[in-house]
Amino acid sequence: MLPTPEQVKNYIAAGLACQHLEVEGDGQHFFATIVAEGFEGKRLIQRHQLVYAALGDRMREEIHALSMKTLTPAEWRQA
């Protein structure tokens, strides 16, 4: 069974403290906008690694593709 955007959102939220989190997708391809204080001082690849760590094995087993916009709260306010 393919995961829903809501399930992917819950997976991310369970492993990463987010101030804002939106997930869209069709069951295989997802796009997430993630705002987290934990991204402060981190490069883009480090931010993505935090999200992948929150998803764990689901990234290999359930989620085919995930595109992300990862922002700090300050970056989110400026957007």
* pLDDT, tens only, 22-74: 999 998 899 999 999 999 999 999 999 999 999 999 988 889 899 999 999 99
DSSP symbol at 41: T
Residue 9: φ, ψ to 5°: -60, -45
Q: What is the CATH number of domain 5-78?
A: 3.30.300.90
Q: Are 36 and 13 in contact (CB under 8 A)?
A: no
Any bridge partners for residue 67, and if so which?
A: 31
Task: Tell whether the model's pLDDT for residue 79 goes beyond 90.
Answer: no
| Structural element, H or E, at residue 17 | none
- What is the reported pTM? 0.94
Between CA 57 and CA 39 the distance in angstroms is 21
- For residue 42, the model assigns a pLDDT of 98
